[in-house]
Amino acid sequence: MVRAWSYAAIAALTANVAMGYDAVKCSTGSKCPSSLPCCSQYGECGVGAYCLGGCDPLSSNTLDSCVPAPVCKSDDYKLTSLDGITDKTKYLGDATKSNWVVDGTPLAYQDQVLLTMAPKTVGTVMASSHYVWYGSISATMKTSRGAGVVSAFILLSDVKDEIDYEFVGVDLESAQTNYYFQGITNYNNGGNISVTDTFNNYHTYTIDWTPDQITWSIDGKVGRTKKKSDTWNSTANRYDYPQTPARIQLSIWPGGLASNAAGTISWAGGPIDWSGPDIKSNGYYYATVNEVKVQCYDAPGNVTKSGSTSYIYADSSGMEGAVQITDKGTVLKSLLGTGVNMTADLPTSSASNSEIANIPGLNGGGPGLFGGYQPDGSSGANPTKNANPTAFNQGSSGSKSGAIKPEGERILKGSLFAGLIAVVGTMIL
């Protein structure tokens, strides 16, 4: 059960130390500094949660800055409550204790989990704690609806290989499928599958991902197949095919946010109406998830294996051959740890007034790349720039997730003391 701890209380306690600072950006061409070694999924440097799921080894200070990733585990996750869902501020990498790590506000409702997006928030992303390196993944869900409101079920690797289902809220009769290799935009990768009213009906969306092909199926019927052999890039002399361990991500996000690129807004069906019917009746837009099934496939036969616990990247190609399976641990001692110092602990005194980014935030641009728009040239999966910080107020009072961000902050600004409080909170719960 995810329990709330009051951000307001922490904000009050840390008012003296949690001062604003500019996020340090990262990309493959501009790696993180050793003081903030980990490049988050959203392209910003930090420690702690920045080094866990989504940490990009190719944009981080060194290949081992990111914490090793928990290996695939076959399971049937019944999403009937918030059990097994951990807020990102409380997750230290132990996939045996958390199935999902959430950023935003999930709610339990009648044996289902709602991923919510209240007015002027950037929505909710729920990511699996275990990675999948080939497998069959099925999500039984209902999408959100409304102009500019996007729901997604994707696989996203730390080097930005991606396999998608995306649903734009103005077209409830179509599942948009896509894939990307290392975050490279390619407008020929998409494909649509017809489906009946995705908001009112549960459908089971399956991604079957093998070293040779991807199939997208809805309710057991194959809608699209992409073979690896059809992804040859003759310029680069390689297959531009998703091939690295990926997390499962289910999300609702504001594609129609005014600060997003014009092409994104138009792809998402236009600007979001923050007083639409779902907002009027519930106070938020929402996608409904009921079950996620994961069946792991074997890792490639030629993989270098020295254990069975975690995936690491052993070279900077970002290709399948760079991945190894090891027995290295996946759990940090505190949110000050990194892949190169996993036992780093919090200071014993709260008198320290240094602060350090340790919990990355959402930015409204969605969890991965997405179809139908021209990104603005920034690298990686973070095409939303200049998001207006004052437009965000993640969550609402009474949130069950503990992920409430103070108004006016785009990134949750961790501080040593906030980290300390987070750990104390975890111990109390």
Ligand X SMILES: *[C@@H]1O[C@H](CO)[C@@H](O)[C@H](O)[C@H]1NC(C)=O
Q: Compare residues 93 and 106 and give the one whose CB is closer to ligand X.
A: 93
Q: Compare residues 164 and 320 and give the one whose CB is closer to ligand X.
A: 320
Q: Indicate which residue of 166, 173, 407, 409 is catalytic.
A: 166
Asked if 170 is part of the footprint of ligand X (rule: CB under 6 A), the reply reads: no
| 355 is known as an active-site residue | no
Cβ-closest position to ligand X: 321
Name the one range near ligand X by CB under 6 A: 40-48, 155-163, 188-196, 384-392: 188-196
Asked if 258 is part of the footprint of ligand X (rule: CB under 6 A), the reply reads: no
Asked if 13 is part of the footprint of ligand X (rule: CB under 6 A), the reply reads: no
Asked if 263 is part of the footprint of ligand X (rule: CB under 6 A), the reply reads: no
Among 192, 213, 290, 396, binds ligand X (CB under 6 A): 192
Query: What's the 3-state SS for the chain?
Result: CCCCCCHHHHHHHCCCCCCCCCCCECECCECCCCCCCEECCCCEEECHHHHCCCCCCCCCCCCCCCCCEECCCCEEEECCCCCCEEEHHHCCCCCCCCCEEEECEEEEECCEEEEEECCCCCCEEEEEEEEECCEEEEEEEECCCCCCEEEEEEEEECCCCEEEEEEECCCCCEEEEEEEECCECCCCCCEEEECCCCCCCCEEEEEEECCCEEEEEECCEEEEEEEHHHHEECCCCEECCCCCCEEEEEEEEECCCCCCCHHHHHHCCCCCCCCCHHHHHHCCEEEEEEEEEEEECCCCCCCEECCCCEEEECCCCCCHHHEEEECCCCCCCCCCCECCECCCCCCCCCCCCCCCCCCCCCCCCCCCCCCCCCCCCCCCCCCCCCCCHHHCCCCCCCCCCCCCCCCCCCCCCCCHHHHHHHHHHHHHC
Instruction: Please state, as a whole number, how many other Cβ atoms lie within 10 Å of the Cβ of residue 251.
Output: 27
Name the one range near ligand X by CB under 6 A: 87-95, 249-257, 270-278, 317-325: 317-325
Q: Is 426 left (phi over 0), alpha (psi -120 to 50) or beta?
A: alpha
Residue 314 contacts residue 63 (beta carbons within 8 Å):
yes
Q: Compare residues 211 and 389 and give the one whose CB is closer to ligand X.
A: 211
Closest approach of Cβ 260 to ligand X, in Å? 16
Name the one range near ligand X by CB under 6 A: 12-20, 153-161, 233-241, 273-281: 233-241
Asked if 302 is part of the footprint of ligand X (rule: CB under 6 A), the reply reads: yes
Asked if 240 is part of the footprint of ligand X (rule: CB under 6 A), the reply reads: yes
Give phi and psi for 137, each to the nearest 5.
-125, 125
Closest approach of Cβ 392 to ligand X, in Å? 27
Mask 354-373, x = binds ligand X (CB under 6 A)? Answer: ------------------x-
Asked if 190 is part of the footprint of ligand X (rule: CB under 6 A), the reply reads: yes
Asked if 230 is part of the footprint of ligand X (rule: CB under 6 A), the reply reads: no
Closest approach of Cβ 110 to ligand X, in Å? 31
Among 35, 74, 196, 233, binds ligand X (CB under 6 A): 233
Closest approach of Cβ 327 to ligand X, in Å? 17
Size of site (CB under 6 A) for ligand X: 23
Instruction: Please state, as a whole number, how many other Cβ atoms lie within 10 Å of the Cβ of residue 84.
Output: 16
| 407 is known as an active-site residue | no
Closest approach of Cβ 322 to ligand X, in Å? 8
Asked if 235 is part of the footprint of ligand X (rule: CB under 6 A), the reply reads: yes
Asked if 348 is part of the footprint of ligand X (rule: CB under 6 A), the reply reads: no
Asked if 186 is part of the footprint of ligand X (rule: CB under 6 A), the reply reads: yes
Asked if 271 is part of the footprint of ligand X (rule: CB under 6 A), the reply reads: no
Closest approach of Cβ 342 to ligand X, in Å? 9
Asked if 341 is part of the footprint of ligand X (rule: CB under 6 A), the reply reads: yes
Among 84, 119, 191, 276, binds ligand X (CB under 6 A): 191
Q: Is 369 left (phi over 0), alpha (psi -120 to 50) or beta?
A: beta
List the structure tokens of 320. Answer: 């399948």
Task: List residues near ligand X by CB under 6 A.
Answer: 171, 174, 176, 184, 186, 190-192, 233, 235-236, 240, 300, 302-303, 319-321, 323, 341, 344-345, 372
Active site (catalytic) residues: 162, 166
